[in-house]
Amino acid sequence: MIKNVLLVDDDTEMLHALKEGFKKYQESFAILLAEDGLQALKSLKQNIISLVVTDLKMPNMDGFELLAHIMEHYPDIPVIIITGYSTPEMEQLAHKGGAVGYIAKPFLIENLARQILTTLRKESEGGTLHNVSSGMFLQLIEMEQKTCTIRLEEKPGGKKGILFFRDGELLDARVNNLQGESAAHEIFSWDAVNLSIQNGCALKENKIQSDLQPLILEAMRRKDEEAPEEVPESVMEQIESGGVEPADRLKRLKQRIEEEIGPQCGLEDLYQDEFWDSRVVQLSKAGDFFQLGNFTLGYIDKGDTNDYILIPGQKTTVITVDPKCPRDKILRVISE
Amino acid sequence: MRELFTDILHTEGVSGMMLFSLKGDLIFKEFKSPVNEDPEQQDWSSFIESLEGMRETDLVFEKGRIYIRKTEIGYLVILMALFVPIAMIRLNCDILLPALKQSKSGKKLGRFFKKKAR
């Protein structure tokens, strides 16, 4: 995903020299130009900017004012300061104001490029996905109660948007000059996107009051075509429990899962079953080969009406769960 | 075709991946750091047999995890650390499956998957 870097400097020769110099990085980031802070604000409203590089001394609105504005309204956007009047105090002020980088003029374009690339890399530290269908994208939103910043690019249109999540709650969205719920509607209506995930969310204020579900439904309503329906899964033969009575340990485990996750844990049954023993031995050999230590837990999706969680032991403990269960949470509870 | 796996390999905590045929032949392997033994020297047939009927398998060990996904052409085995964005990896596999299906209809897998000696 090509990221937008906004260069702000009243020295137009400098701006164009930088733009020219950054041409070799055009597969990593695109350059937008602004000649002062006010022009930069306009660009920030109209575009999804990933990084701002700004001079300090400028007419109309200087670099410090711009930095303060960005920290207040776009705290997710990192700022690198470049200045021809560098003093230690100024550098300290810039960092105090929230700048992630500070470079004194004159500098090598490569040094600035390196700093830009390093900063931009953080945008996708949580992973990237390409050509995600809307169905998958919704899964992504529901998957984990994550605190993250998701940057998206619509395919094939190339529109860019950004979503802010804190503990799974959507705080805000931005796309073009839209913000909040209207931006969320727009983003959720995109059929396919490329996206990158940044761990953490710089926003603190919640600008979207609605739950995610109504937003998605509204976006769906606005969409012409419906998301493709999932093909029903084939139901394979159920595995019999073997009639082994759960021991106290199993009961306690079941109780713990139900207590910690609640009724949505999707736990169906819990029993011991020798049927799985030989498979568990084979699966644990893969861990031996890669020196991963003992096999502690396995989650199996066979396409049945239930999925299986295996806990190795003298007899394999089997927990059958609803395939829609919060599997990662359950695995975490059992691992603890 | 290695680009198919790039997103997964670049995911934080993923240390490598292998693709096995349904019979247990190693078709592709890529590790971020060298592994102690060469997986090509290992007989994986019993391991692959034990995956019979499994669509998706997430194995947790003391020091890492192995995520296995059945594909049209075999089993994709992803090695990773204990704490990884597993949902991301699952989604990336969802994306990968149709592409692997297409590669099945190609002439030869060797055209896409170059075995890399390490």
* Mean pLDDT, chain A, integer: 82
ipTM score for this prediction: 0.84
Structure tokens that stand for B13 in this block: 């905590």
Task: Kindly report the nearest CA distance between residue A82 and chain B, in angstroms.
Answer: 32
Task: Kindly report the nearest CA distance between residue B8 and chain A, in angstroms.
Answer: 8
pLDDT tier at B113, thresholds 50, 70, 90: very low
pLDDT of res. A218: 78
To the nearest 10 degrees (0 to 180), the angle between helices A212-222 and A134-143 is: 170
Helix (H, G, I), strand (E, B) or coil at A56: coil
* B54 with A132: Cβ contact below 8 A: no
Torsion of CA A130, B20, B58, B30, to 10 degrees: -60
Helix (H, G, I), strand (E, B) or coil at A259: helix
* B35 with A290: Cβ contact below 8 A: yes
Three-class SS of chain B: CHHHHHHHHCCCCEEEEEEEECCCCEEEEEECCCCCCCHHHCCCHHHHHHCCCCCEEEEEECCCEEEEEECCCEEEEEEECCCCCHHHHHHHHHHHHHHHHHHHHCCCHHHCCCCCCC
* B64 with A290: Cβ contact below 8 A: yes
Task: Kindly report the nearest CA distance between residue B103 and chain A, in angstroms.
Answer: 18
Q: Is B62 on the interface with A (CB under 8 A)?
A: yes
Distance, in Å, from the CA atom of A263 to the CA atom of B51, rounded to the nearest integer, reads 30
pLDDT of res. B110: 41
Distance, in Å, from the CA atom of A100 to the CA atom of B96, rounded to the nearest integer, reads 36
* A301 with B57: Cβ contact below 8 A: yes
Task: Kindly report the nearest CA distance between residue B111 and chain A, in angstroms.
Answer: 23
> Which residues on chain A are in Cβ contact (under 8 Å) with B35?
290
* A290 with B94: Cβ contact below 8 A: no
Q: Is B45 on the interface with A (CB under 8 A)?
A: no
Distance, in Å, from the CA atom of A144 to the CA atom of A167, rounded to the nearest integer, reads 8
Task: Kindly report the nearest CA distance between residue B64 and chain A, in angstroms.
Answer: 5
A224 has pLDDT over 70: no
Residues B4 and B99: beta-carbon distance below 8 Å: yes
* Mean pLDDT lowest among A1-5, A187-191, B93-97, B109-113: B109-113
A131 has pLDDT over 50: yes
Task: Kindly report the nearest CA distance between residue A120 and chain B, in angstroms.
Answer: 15
Residue A165: partners with Cβ closer than 8 Å, 6 or more residues away: A141, A146, A147, A148, A149, A150, A171, A201
> Which residues on chain B are in Cβ contact (under 8 Å) with A309?
none
Mutate to test the interface with A, among B59, B62, B118 (most CBs of A within 10 A): B59
pLDDT of res. B114: 41
* B36 with A125: Cβ contact below 8 A: no
Choose between A6 and A197: higher pLDDT.
A6
* A127 with B85: Cβ contact below 8 A: yes
* Mean pLDDT lowest among A21-35, A131-145, A259-273: A131-145
Q: Residue type for A38, please?
A: L
Residue among A140, A292, A299 whose CB faces B58 most closely = A299
Q: Is A292 on the interface with B (CB under 8 A)?
A: yes
A197 has pLDDT over 80: yes
Q: What is the DSSP letter of A8?
A: E
* B37 with A331: Cβ contact below 8 A: no
> Which residues on chain A are in Cβ contact (under 8 Å) with B63?
291-293
Residue among B11, B49, B54 whose CB faces A300 most closely = B54
pLDDT of res. A233: 36
pLDDT of res. A38: 92
**Nearest one of A16, A7, A77, A14 to A36, comparing CA atoms:** A7
B107 has pLDDT over 50: no
> Which residues on chain A are in Cβ contact (under 8 Å) with B80?
none
Percent of chain B past pLDDT 90, that is, above it, reads 24
Please name the residue of chain A whose CA is at the shortest distance from the CA of residue B80.
A292
* A283 with B88: Cβ contact below 8 A: no
* Mean pLDDT, chain B, integer: 81
